[in-house]
Each structure stands twice: as structure tokens, then as C-alpha cells.
Amino acid sequence: MLSFFITMTASPSSARILTLPRIAILALILVAIFFFRDTFLPSESPYRSHSTSPAHLHTQPDQASHYESESTTQDKSSSSSSTTPSVHHATNTSASDEPESCLSVPGADNVLIMLKTGATELYQKLPTHFMTTFTCVPHFMIFSDLAQNFADIPIHDAIAPISSHFRDHHEDFELYRKLQQYQREGQNLHALSGSGGWNLDKWKFLPMLHQAFESAPAHIEWFLLMEADTSISWTNLLQWLRTMDPTKPYYLGAQNVIGSTTFAHGGSGVVISRRAADLLETKRRSLGKAHYDSIWEETTSTSCCGDEIVARAFLDVDVPLTPAWPLIQGETVSSIDWKPDHWCTVALTWHHVTPIEIDSLFQFETSWIANHGWETPYLYRDVFEHFIDRHISVNRTAWKNLSKDHRFVRPDLLALPSQMREEPPTKPFEQLRPYEQAAVESQDACAEACRRHKKCVQWMFAPEGRCYLGDVIRFGGSDEQQQREGIGGGQEGHWVSGWMQERVQRFKSGFEGCEVRWHG
């Protein structure tokens, strides 16, 4: 560049003669360009300008207090089970500018989230989590049925630690073996959706817990297991955990029962204290990891559900389930029944939520925190008022509000194929009162039947001759997709739904000033 300027200025035809002062000025310009180049040359990807720039930190169990930042690459073969998985740690790059950053709120650094998913749904469900709640989660691990990377985030193979006796030969692992093949061949993994994922899923639970418990830094006090279609409230979770002692053995969740086992439903979310995790790992080490794992693999092979196996493993170390419903529960905002049990309870989890719903709940929580801070929990009541209240102030066409407590059906419909897709009537038609029989004739008559049932707060009517009444508030959803598929409502028109406004308002006013419920 300097020779170019000399050539241009030394031309006899030029009026500009090269002099020492001009050379000095040129040198100063070049020096200034060098030292101030960062002001106009970007030093990093714009995607890293976010305040939650992630860094992968591989922490060995016996080095939990010593962090060395490194870039990790997940081994994509089944031999990855011989190494300790890394925990994804997020660092707050602008902590000095944002003292209230969601990554640094009290208690956030003491929680490790384990998200369970599958390779066939990875790219449909994970992105929303990374753009919403997980921007506030300092420590998390993603477990699937295939080792891979999602951008720079490692996805751990929860199946790899299982013995080859089962992994290579058992029929439940047919999808796993197919996933390995598709990955080697570069095929579309999503094409394998629906081909055995449920059978494979139950095998992930215990191995992923062991991997997480062994990998977690020493300061982790709580573990939360969730699924890819689970939504959690980060602020409510942190506030709730502060009401309990992590040095006590806690295994918490929405209680479910299979046989004689009461267990925490996995999709609703499972919370485990450090003490409970330590008891489980101590038992595993005392028996020898290989022997312990072989025992539970045999048990899993004859069980239906992995979350039930987790409960049995904790019972084996004298840690029974502590019920946490309805704080932790498995419904969506649209399907939940808005009962007194929910109204003044802290809302922690939702299940079977779509990516859009996860984002909507995250935006609601972000707004709540902006207005109330990190020390005030929101309740199911607040979720209702934000998402539901205004939408049930009028009747809705092409809508099923999930009323089901009293079902009146025109007798001639009972023999139709469409009845096979509907719940049966609650009473034979001839045993109904006259106004209940009339309810199948029109939506006005259906609404009148609801009015005459003192506990009824909502109704839904299908023109073919169905009237369903509900004693609890539910929102439901559109029936247009069901109509296209020929499911429900018959062929004569869409369902119409309505709510009894005075009774809804009476229900709400009955809980004004109620005490916040923190426990199940």
C-alpha cells in the first residue's frame, strides 16, 4: 500500500511532491487504522452478541470445582459411553451491565436441567427451547437416542451405556440400530418418526440420570428432568426450590400409579435433590456399576415405562415420591381443568405443548418478571387471566371446549360409526329429564340445560344431536382439523361451545385474596 502512494505522488506531472512531512502523515494514518481496526471489523459472529454466549465445559466428577473451557465434540459411536458426558454451561458475557440477568438470579447456578428427546424430533422441538427458557439456564444436558451436535451443543446418547446384550439384539432397539444406520448414510432421521420411539424411550431414563449425576459439578443442588414437549417456568421453579433443602432426599413430580408403584410422570417434569442423586449413585457403586446396571436393564425390559422404573430405583434406596401435583402437571393451557386445586397454586410445568405454546408461555413469563421481578411467583390464576379469560366471554363456533361431565346423545346416533370416536352418554336417553332430552335439538336448548344444572359452567353442542355439559372450566380447541379427518361432531356441522359467564365470574371471585400454594 505504501509503494502505491509513493508511485502516485512521485509522478513528474503531479502537483503533489513527496516530502518527509507527507510520509509521516501517511505513516500515522496506517498506524491509526491498525490500532482502531476493531471499531469497524467485527471480531465475532453477531449471534454471539447475545448476553448468554454459551461455552462448553467438560467437567469430570472428581474435578467438579475446576473448570477448563474447551470445545467438545461428541463421539458419535456407541463407545461414547466410556467417557463422561459434558454439561453445557452458559456464561453471562454482560453480567456487569445486567446484574439482573436471568442467568445470574439466585439459585440458577445450582440447577441442572436434563432434557430428554429423540433424534427423529430433534430439529422440530429443540430450537424453541434454545431461543426461550434455556437462554436463562446456566447448566443443562440434552439426551437423545443418537449422539450428535445441535450447532455447538452436544446431544448425548442415553442409549449407548446400555449393554450390547440388549442394545444389539432386543426388539426395542430396532429404531436405535436404524438411527445409527441412517446417521452413517447421511439420511433424513425425521423419516423414522413413529417407528418404535415409544419402546426405545423407556430405556433412556436411568442411564441419562446416571450420566447427569456423574457429570454434574459439585455445586449443583437440584436436577430437573423434562421432555422436549415440556414447558417450565424458570422463575417459579427457582422460587419453589428455595422452599426445600437439597441435602434431604427429594424425588418430586406429578404422581401416577402403575401396579403398586407410585411414580413421577416424566413428561410433566421430575425434580431430584442432590442428596437423592447421591444415594442412588452410592448404591450403584457399592454393587458395581456393571452389575447394578444389568439388574435394572432386566427390570426395564419387562416394564412399560421408564419413569416408573426411576421410581422403583429410588424406592430401592428408600426415597419415595414426594407428590408435587398440581405445581408439576401434565396438561396444556388449553386442556387443563381450572379447578380450585389449581387456582392459587404456583404454576411450574406444562406438557404436550407445541413450540408455539412454549414461546407464548416464555413471553408471558418474561413480561411477568419485568413487572413483578424474580421474587414474586405467578399462579395458575394469572395464566388463566392472560391466556383464557377474554376468549371465553362469547360462544365459539367450530370449537370443542372439552365439556364431558354430562353427555346427552340422540338415540339414533349410537349405532353410527362416529359414536365409536366419542365417549358414551352418561345416561340412557330414556332416563334423562325432559329438558336434558331437548338439549340435543339445538345449541340454545343445550345452553338451557347447562343453566338448569347448578354446577354446570360450560357446554358444547354438535348439530347432529349431541350436548355435553362441563362442571369445570376448560378452554379446548378448534375442531376444524377433526372435521377434515372425520373425527367427532358428525358430518352435519361443527361443534359450538359456550360458557356461563356469571358462574365463571363467581368461581373467580371466590378465590380473591387466597394464599399462595407452594406444595402438592
Find the helix packing angle between 306-315 and 289-301, rounded to 10°: 130
Q: 323, 357, 386: which is the final residue of a domain?
A: 323
What was the pLDDT predicted at 329? 98
Choose among 222, 238, 519: nearest CA to 373: 238
The answer to whether residue 24 sits within a structural domain is yes
What was the pLDDT predicted at 414? 86
DSSP state string for 165-229: HHHTT-GGGHHHHHHHHHHHHT--GGGGTTSSHHHHHTTTHHHHHHHHHHHS-TT--EEEEEETT
Choose among 400, 390, 419, 383: nearest CA to 476: 400
Contact 437, 408 (CB under 8 A): yes
Q: CA-to-CA distance for 221 and 224, rounded, in angstroms?
A: 10
Choose among 169, 21, 142, 144: nearest CA to 86: 142
Q: 305, 323, 341: which is the final residue of a domain?
A: 323
Residues of the chain with pLDDT under 70: 1-18, 20-22, 24, 26, 31-84, 90-100, 195, 418-420, 481-492
Per DSSP, the chain holds a count of helices (H) and strands (E) of 18, 21
Residues 33 and 61 in one domain: no
Cell of residue 474, nine digits: 376448560
Which runs of E-coded beta strand occur in 326-481?
A: 349-351, 396-397, 399-400, 406-409, 458-462, 466-470, 477-478
What was the pLDDT predicted at 31? 62
What was the pLDDT predicted at 96? 35
What was the pLDDT predicted at 87? 76
Q: CA-to-CA distance for 87 and 139, rounded, in angstroms?
A: 6
What was the pLDDT predicted at 122? 92
Residues 59 and 120 in one domain: yes
Cα–Cα separations (whole angstroms), residue 98 to 92, 101, 131, 185, 224: 9, 5, 19, 46, 26
Parent domain of 24: 2-39
What was the pLDDT predicted at 423? 84
Residues 59 and 194 in one domain: yes
The answer to whether residue 239 sits within a structural domain is yes
Cis amide prior to 411 (ω within 30 degrees): no
The answer to whether residue 425 sits within a structural domain is yes
The answer to whether residue 347 sits within a structural domain is no
Residues 205 and 114 in one domain: yes
Residues 32 and 141 in one domain: no
Query: What's the structural domain count of the chain?
Result: 3
Residues 264 and 293 in one domain: yes
What was the pLDDT predicted at 481? 63
For 394, the 3-state DSSP assignment is coil
CATH number at residue 262: 3.90.550
What was the pLDDT predicted at 32? 64
Cell of residue 73, nine digits: 465434540
Residues 100 and 225 in one domain: yes
Q: 323, 355, 381: which is the final residue of a domain?
A: 323
- Find the angle CA(349)-CA(353)-CA(357) to the nearest 5 degrees: 95
Residues 399-416 have pLDDT tens digits of 999 999 999 999 999 887
The answer to whether residue 336 sits within a structural domain is no
Helix (H) or strand (E) holding 451: helix 443-452
Contact 196, 177 (CB under 8 A): no
Q: CA-to-CA distance for 99 and 31, rounded, in angstroms?
A: 37
The answer to whether residue 66 sits within a structural domain is yes
- DSSP 8-state symbol, 457: -
Contact 476, 334 (CB under 8 A): yes
Contact 262, 136 (CB under 8 A): no
